[in-house]
């Protein structure tokens, strides 16, 4: 009872005096172990590591999906990929009926911004960010263009902002522009409660970053240049990837320093994570960097390496410094967490607020009965985690009832030993549950997805 009253006092104090600002920083294709606090040996991430030393890391946090668009759809709508609108890097966009965390926080009086990559609708349809809860947008609307960092234009609030000589002169690096815009948004809204969704595109290939970020890593051994086709060629792919992550880290530090200089750090929750596991495409080399850590799988896999993410939350005075949590959470938990922070009722969600964990009140933290994912590329895949157990089904397009693989994540986080034959009843139970927890989609149907995406 005492712990509950302490939690209630902290929560009501935060909401009665001043609603906290919320910044959600999303990296793109950054693996669980691509950051120092999760064991990265080659790439320096001092600012993200400082976030962790001053805040809390989650060791069992999961993305919405194993590729970009559905992961973002899950984050924005608070629904897992068995229920959210956009379930793949393919057709479709958010509709007017799809409620987002931006709309939720707008209703609570927040100024809202999305800066970076949207990928859930264009300005020609109802899925564009201004119709989905964001007062300000700057960046890539269509994620196909987000592969390249020196673009001839970006979108700013419904209009194209042109940089006509940029692809040739290479003097406007999109990631830098996003940081500049984010710092301006924070400065201009320091007197208001604000929500900043900063969806960086780094380190998604192209492997491309200003040379100043590459130089510290030229000592890394290279297996040779990458000769591009869809993605650009890169002479030093490992050094370039490391430089991209370091540039991301540098700008995370600038965001935190801005909050400190404006004296609003203690009223701002900052979350840093990634949208899916690391990719081997475009010259990137997750095997060399051990980007997925001890986990099996990369981007486009539903094994842990494809969906378990680095996650750190920073909120001085509210979150205990240098703390960590094994609470099992996922992207769809962000919406109910924001609702609790803002003091409003959440929209329909598959999520559970993790605010009690952030505030150290673990006795009040609800737990997920299960987490569920589905993916429509590479033969079709499903995964469901329930407690320490995880079931993975492959080749779903060929066989909707294909036998699942079964792993004990607590004892075998690397998913090396399939226990389906040893625990057949549990395997059958989780297999059945995969179809009970999802709804049908007109756009994404198992057995009917044939187009391969390059996003």
Q: State the pLDDT at residue 449.
A: 63
Same domain, 325 and 423: no
Residue 53 CA to residue 51 CA, distance in Å, equals 6
Residue 393 CA to residue 332 CA, distance in Å, equals 22
User: Is the pLDDT reported for residue 8 higher than 90?
Assistant: no
Q: State the pLDDT at residue 2.
A: 46
Asked if residue 244 is part of any domain, the answer here is yes
Asked if residue 259 is part of any domain, the answer here is yes
Q: State the pLDDT at residue 140.
A: 98
The answer to whether residues 67 and 276 touch, using CB atoms and an 8 Å cutoff, is: yes
Q: What is the pLDDT of residues 354-377, one digit of tens each?
A: 999 999 999 999 999 999 999 999
* Count of structural domains, the chain: 2
User: Which DSSP string do the residues of 7-60 spell out, in sequence order?
Assistant: HHHHHHHHHHH-PPEEEEEEESS--TTSSGGGT-SSS--HHHHHHHHHSEEEEE
The per-type count for the chain, helices as H runs and strands as E runs, is 13, 15
Per-residue pLDDT band at 14 (split at 50, 70, 90): very low
Q: Specify whether the backbone of 293 is left (phi greater than 0), alpha (psi in -120 to 50) or beta.
A: left
Same domain, 331 and 267: yes
Strand duo 389-393 + 381-386: pairing: antiparallel
Same domain, 56 and 93: yes
Q: What is the pLDDT of residues 64-78, one digit of tens each?
A: 999 999 999 999 999
Asked if residue 441 is part of any domain, the answer here is no
Question: Could you tell me the CA-to-CA distances from 1 to 5, 6, 307, 331 in Å, in that order?
Answer: 6, 9, 36, 30
User: Is the pLDDT reported for residue 7 higher than 80?
Assistant: no
The answer to whether residues 303 and 393 touch, using CB atoms and an 8 Å cutoff, is: no
Q: Which residues of 373-394 are buried (b: 16+ CB within 10 A; e: fewer)?
A: bbbbbeebbbbbbbeebbbbbb
- Comparing 12-21, 143-152, 197-206, the range with the smallest average pLDDT is 12-21
For the chain, the average pLDDT equals 95
Same domain, 284 and 244: yes
User: Is the pLDDT reported for residue 451 higher than 90?
Assistant: no
Q: Which of 187, 192, 342, 321 is nearest to 260 (CA)?
A: 187
Q: Which residues pair with 408 in a beta bridge?
A: 389
- Comparing 185-194, 427-436, 441-450, the range with the smallest average pLDDT is 441-450
Q: Which residues pair with 155 in a beta bridge?
A: 139, 160
Asked if residue 270 is part of any domain, the answer here is yes
Same domain, 343 and 422: no
Q: Which of 180, 178, 188, 236 is nearest to 209 (CA)?
A: 236
Same domain, 108 and 255: yes
Cα 56-48-100 angle, rounded to 5 deg: 70
Per-residue pLDDT band at 336 (split at 50, 70, 90): very high
380: tokens are 């079709």
**Tally of CB atoms within 10 A around 314:** 28
CATH number at residue 145: 3.40.720.10
Domain stop point among 312, 338, 364: 364
CATH number at residue 400: 3.30.1120.10
Same domain, 350 and 413: no
Q: Coil, helix or strand for 149?
A: coil
The answer to whether residues 28 and 68 touch, using CB atoms and an 8 Å cutoff, is: yes
Asked if residue 453 is part of any domain, the answer here is no
154: tokens are 């970006």
Q: State the pLDDT at residue 450.
A: 52
Q: State the pLDDT at residue 455.
A: 55
Asked if residue 213 is part of any domain, the answer here is yes
User: Is the pLDDT reported for residue 5 higher than 70?
Assistant: no
Q: What is the pLDDT of residues 190-245, one digit of tens each?
A: 999 999 999 999 999 999 999 999 999 999 999 999 998 889 999 999 999 999 99
Classify residue 69 by burial, with Cβ atoms within 10 Å: 0-12, 13-18, 19+: buried
Per-residue pLDDT band at 15 (split at 50, 70, 90): very low
**Residue range(s) defining the domain that contains residue 281:** 19-364
Q: Which residues of 402-432 are buried (b: 16+ CB within 10 A; e: fewer)?
A: bbbbbbbbeeebbbeeebbeeeeebbeebbe
User: Is the pLDDT reported for residue 6 higher than 80?
Assistant: no
User: Is the pLDDT reported for residue 12 higher than 70?
Assistant: no
- Summarize the confidence of residues 3-9 as an average pLDDT: 48
The answer to whether residues 100 and 77 touch, using CB atoms and an 8 Å cutoff, is: yes
At how many degrees (to 10) do helices 68-77 and 334-342 cross?
30
Same domain, 72 and 167: yes
Same domain, 275 and 130: yes
Name 325's Cβ contacts closer than 8 Å, sequence gap at least 6: 56, 57, 58, 59, 357, 362
**Tally of CB atoms within 10 A around 263:** 9
- Summarize the confidence of residues 289-307 as an average pLDDT: 98
- Summarize the confidence of residues 441-450 as an average pLDDT: 85
Same domain, 409 and 358: no
Asked if residue 376 is part of any domain, the answer here is yes
Same domain, 254 and 348: yes
Domain stop point among 336, 364, 392: 364
Same domain, 255 and 111: yes
Asked if residue 222 is part of any domain, the answer here is yes
The answer to whether residues 84 and 74 touch, using CB atoms and an 8 Å cutoff, is: yes
Domain stop point among 364, 380, 413: 364
Residue 356 CA to residue 452 CA, distance in Å, equals 41
């Amino acid at each position: 009872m005492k712990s509950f009253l302490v939690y209630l006092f902290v929560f009501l104090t935060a909401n009665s005096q001043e609603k906290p600002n919320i910044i959600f920083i999303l990296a793109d294709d950054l693996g669980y172990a691509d950051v120092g606090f999760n064991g990265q040996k080659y790439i320096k991430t001092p600012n993200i590591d400082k976030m962790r030393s001053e805040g809390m890391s989650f060791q069992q946090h999961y993305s919405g999906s194993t590729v970009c668009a559905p992961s973002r759809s899950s984050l924005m709508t608070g629904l897992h990929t068995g229920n959210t609108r956009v379930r793949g890097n393919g057709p479709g966009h958010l509709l007017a009926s799809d409620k987002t965390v931006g709309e939720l926080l707008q209703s609570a009086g927040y100024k809202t911004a999305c800066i970076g990559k949207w990928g859930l609708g264009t300005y020609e349809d109802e899925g564009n960010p201004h119709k989905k809860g964001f007062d300000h947008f700057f960046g890539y609307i269509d994620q196909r263009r987000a592969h390249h960092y020196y673009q001839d234009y970006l979108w700013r609030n419904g209009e194209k902002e042109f940089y006509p000589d940029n692809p040739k002169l290479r003097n406007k690096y999109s990631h830098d522009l996003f940081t500049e815009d984010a710092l301006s948004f924070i400065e201009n809204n320091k007197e208001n409660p604000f929500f900043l969704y900063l969806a960086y595109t780094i380190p998604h290939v192209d492997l491309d970053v200003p040379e100043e970020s590459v130089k510290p890593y030229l000592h890394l051994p290279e297996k040779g240049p990458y000769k591009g086709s869809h993605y650009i060629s890169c002479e030093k792919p490992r050094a370039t990837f490391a430089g991209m992550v370091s540039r991301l880290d540098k700008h995370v530090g600038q965001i935190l320093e801005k909050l400190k200089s404006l004296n609003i750090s203690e009223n701002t929750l900052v979350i840093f994570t990634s949208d899916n596991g690391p990719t081997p495409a475009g010259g990137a080399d997750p095997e060399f960097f051990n980007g997925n850590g001890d986990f099996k799988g990369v981007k486009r896999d539903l094994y842990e390496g494809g969906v378990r993410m680095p996650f750190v939350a920073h909120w001085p005075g509210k979150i205990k410094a240098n703390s960590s949590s094994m609470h099992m959470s996922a992207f769809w938990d962000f919406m109910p967490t924001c609702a609790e922070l803002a003091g409003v009722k959440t929209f329909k969600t598959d999520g559970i607020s993790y605010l009690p964990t952030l505030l150290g009140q673990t006795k009040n933290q609800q737990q997920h009965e299960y987490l569920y994912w589905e993916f429509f590329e590479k033969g079709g895949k499903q995964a469901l985690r329930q407690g320490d157990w995880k079931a993975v089904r492959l080749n779903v397009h060929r066989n909707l009832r294909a036998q699942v693989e079964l792993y004990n994540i607590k004892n075998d986080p690397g998913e090396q030993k399939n226990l389906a034959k040893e625990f057949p009843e549990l395997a059958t139970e989780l297999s059945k549950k995969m179809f009970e927890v999802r709804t049908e989609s007109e756009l994404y149907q198992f057995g009917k997805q044939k187009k391969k995406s390059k996003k």
